[in-house]
């Protein structure tokens, strides 16, 4: 049925080029990370694990990795319950003020990140949270909340709320009926939200640049300084690992979602 | 009296308790946003006008000093250019994704979403490696004899634009795709059955129906670009000073809190003004909801 007109060929070629433009820069870091060369060259002269060894053997990179993983872990542990509670409230309430609450909770996505970063820096300086672990975690909880809330609100909207009503009318209290009836059925959306909050904490850079310091510097801050000042080729190895981690998490989230549908 | 009666009505009382409970559930999350977004932004606003007495000096400087208004102008131009480029590149891809068969559609969307979840830092690094003087692109160009001298594609505005388009393109494609996917195929077929050529049905039926997606995508890309920080900092070579860099430099290098705050407030006001205008045409959650 479809005729292969010139226009159609041009369209397919154009789209393929755009998709290549999107994906190539992400893929090119992989061969670069296995290069034996000191400078960024492509194709690599020969393969080696040199930059991975250098990354693992470097105490500063390792410490930064530990900080990032700890921060991301605590961020998920705190942002997920807060986000689920807020999403439940947004979905269940008919009050007009809830719309305002919802918009307010989405603010971290709307306000330019540099303004948030400078503002938090200023507030933290007053309360002594600069260069501390709780400070970093709290900032990442704030940035992760919109992801959890968006995902869980969507999950709750496709869930039949009368089921929870039935459980309550049979004498279960609200909290238990949520845990036993509702939560298992929106599990996929909660998990998706948690995963996105985790990735958001792994990738967060700008706020960390301002508020972290000393031994509590996340990986991204060290990467940023290294990229700005003098490029350390270990970054290719770190980038590859970070990208692989993100991809696997996104894959996990999307297969979970699909299973539900 | 009437109020008292209402208060005694058990179902109303139940409902009120119910709503109170729901508000309480949202409270912890709200407190986090209050402490880490509203208070800091409010503080910046205060600082921008108050320093040992009220002053508009910080705002006056934005309009009178070259580096300030030039930076705003440059940011505006880059954002406009990036948005147009993203629309030009993104519309056909979204169209392909919405009209292709299921398998192809999933592949196209995956190729759009995967970079979306890659760290901005990683992508800035990749572009540095690709575009620098001894980078892959220059090596290829020289190998094929297309240029004699390596081109300066990074550490300038060009490098910033290329990497920014790359980072923001998914934000264009995803809302476009979401809108296009909902356009009923029947309409296109009806147009065709009435004798419309494919290009006619596209221009007269499909394109107008996809406009809400265009508005959502362009708004998102433009606004995000206005506040971009990492890419211009790493790929701009210190010459492309966008507004965000103006804020950070005033804080980090010059310790000029008032100036930094005023620049931030103007940027924020611009962003909110855009959202306010756009929200008259499409609901805002449509702009942000499609991640």
Residue B221 pLDDT exceeds 60: yes
In a domain, A229, yes or no: yes
Number of domains in chain A: 1
In a domain, A236, yes or no: yes
* Chain A residue numbers touching B35 (CB-CB < 8 A): 123, 138
Q: For residue B136, what is the nearest residue in chain A, using CA coordinates?
A: A42
Name the band, by pLDDT with cuts 50, 70 and 90, for residue A3.
Answer: low
Best residue of A1, A33, A115 to probe chain B, by most B CBs closer than 10 Å: A115
In a domain, A116, yes or no: yes
For A108-131, how does the pLDDT look when each residue is reduced to its tens digit (9 = 90+)? 988 999 999 999 998 999 999 999
Name the band, by pLDDT with cuts 50, 70 and 90, for residue A1.
Answer: very low
CB contact under 8 A, B93 and A113: no
Q: What is the CATH number of the domain that holds A108?
A: 1.10.3720.10
* Chain B residue numbers touching A223 (CB-CB < 8 A): 121, 125
Cβ under 8 Å to B: A residues 4-63:
11-12, 14-15, 18-19, 21-23, 25-26, 28-29, 32, 39-42
pLDDT of residue A40: 62
Q: Is the peptide bond before A43 cis (omega within 30 degrees of 0)?
A: yes
For A130-142, how does the pLDDT look when each residue is reduced to its tens digit (9 = 90+)? 999 999 999 999 9
> Containing domain of residue A128, as a range?
58-260
For A186-227, how does the pLDDT look when each residue is reduced to its tens digit (9 = 90+)? 888 999 999 999 999 998 999 999 999 888 999 999 989 888
Kindly give the residue spans of alpha helices, DSSP state H, lying in chain A.
6-33, 50-57, 59-92, 97-105, 107-110, 113-127, 133-157, 162-169, 174-177, 183-185, 187-203, 206-211, 219-228, 234-260
* Chain B residue numbers touching A97 (CB-CB < 8 A): 23
In a domain, A238, yes or no: yes
In a domain, A9, yes or no: no
The domain segmentation of chain B, as residue ranges, is 58-288
Residue A168 pLDDT exceeds 90: no
Is the full-model pTM beyond 0.90? no
For B51-93, how does the pLDDT look when each residue is reduced to its tens digit (9 = 90+)? 877 888 888 888 888 888 889 999 999 999 999 999 999 999 9
pLDDT of residue B8: 62
In a domain, A128, yes or no: yes
Q: What is the mean pLDDT of chain B?
A: 85
For B83-137, how does the pLDDT look when each residue is reduced to its tens digit (9 = 90+)? 999 999 999 999 999 988 888 998 998 899 888 888 888 898 889 888 888 777 8
pLDDT of residue A39: 64
* Fold observed for domain B58-288: MetI-like fold (1.10.3720)
**Rounded (10°) CA dihedral B50, B55, B58, B60:** 160
In a domain, A13, yes or no: no
In a domain, A27, yes or no: no
Residue B144 pLDDT exceeds 80: yes
């Amino acid at each position: 049925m479809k005729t292969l007109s010139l226009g159609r060929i041009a369209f397919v070629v154009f789209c393929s080029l755009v998709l290549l433009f999107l994906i190539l820069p992400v893929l090119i870091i992989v061969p670069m990370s296995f290069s034996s060369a000191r400078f960024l060259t492509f194709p690599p002269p020969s393969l080696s694990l040199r930059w991975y060894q250098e990354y693992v053997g470097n105490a500063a990179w390792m410490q930064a990795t530990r900080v990032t993983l700890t921060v991301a872990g605590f961020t998920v542990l705190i942002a997920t319950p807060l986000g689920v509670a807020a999403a439940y409230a947004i979905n269940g309430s008919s009050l007009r003020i809830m719309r305002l609450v919802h918009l307010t909770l989405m603010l971290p996505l709307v306000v330019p990140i540099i303004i948030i970063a400078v503002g938090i820096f200023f507030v933290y300086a007053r309360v002594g949270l600069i260069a501390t672990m709780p400070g970093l975690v709290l900032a990442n909880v704030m940035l992760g909340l919109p992801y959890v809330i968006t995902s869980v609100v969507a999950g709750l909207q496709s869930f039949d709320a009368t089921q929870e009503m039935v459980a309550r009318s049979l004498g279960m209290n609200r909290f238990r009926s949520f845990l036993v009836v509702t939560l298992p059925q929106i599990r996929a959306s909660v998990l998706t939200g948690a995963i996105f909050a985790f990735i958001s904490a792994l990738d967060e850079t700008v706020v960390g640049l301002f508020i972290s310091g000393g031994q509590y510097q996340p990986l991204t801050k060290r990467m940023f300084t290294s990229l700005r000042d003098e490029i350390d080729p270990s970054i290719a190895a770190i980038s590859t690992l970070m990208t692989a981690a993100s991809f696997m998490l996104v894959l996990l989230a999307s297969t979970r979602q699909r299973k539900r549908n | 009296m009437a109020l008292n009666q209402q208060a005694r009505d058990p179902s109303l009382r139940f409902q009120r308790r119910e709503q109170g409970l729901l508000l309480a559930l949202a409270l912890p999350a709200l407190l986090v946003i209050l402490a880490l977004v509203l208070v800091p932004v409010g503080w910046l606003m205060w600082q921008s006008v108050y320093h040992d007495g009220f002053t508009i000096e910080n705002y006056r400087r934005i309009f009178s000093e070259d580096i300030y208004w030039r930076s705003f102008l440059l940011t505006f131009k880059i954002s406009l250019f990036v948005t147009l480029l993203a629309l030009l590149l993104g519309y056909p891809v979204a169209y392909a994704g919405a009209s292709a068969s299921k398998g192809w559609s999933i592949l196209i969307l995956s190729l759009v979403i995967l970079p979306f979840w890659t760290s901005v830092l990683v992508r800035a690094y990749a572009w540095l490696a690709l575009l620098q003087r001894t980078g892959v692109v220059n090596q290829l160009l020289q190998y094929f004899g297309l240029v004699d001298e390596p081109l300066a594609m990074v550490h300038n505005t060009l490098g910033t634009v290329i990497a920014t388009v790359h980072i923001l393109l998914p934000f264009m494609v995803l809302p476009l795709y979401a809108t296009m996917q909902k356009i009923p195929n029947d309409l296109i077929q009806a147009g065709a059955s009435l004798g419309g050529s494919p290009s006619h049905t596209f221009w007269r039926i499909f394109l107008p129906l996809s406009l809400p997606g265009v508005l959502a995508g362009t708004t998102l890309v433009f606004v995000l670009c206005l506040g971009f920080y990492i890419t211009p900092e790493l790929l701009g070579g210190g010459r492309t000073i966008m507004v965000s860099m103006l804020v950070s430099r005033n804080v980090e290098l010059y310790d000029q809190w008032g100036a930094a705050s005023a620049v931030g407030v103007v940027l924020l006001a611009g962003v909110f003004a855009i959202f306010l205008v756009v929200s008259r045409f499409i609901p805002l959650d449509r702009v942000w909801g499609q991640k």
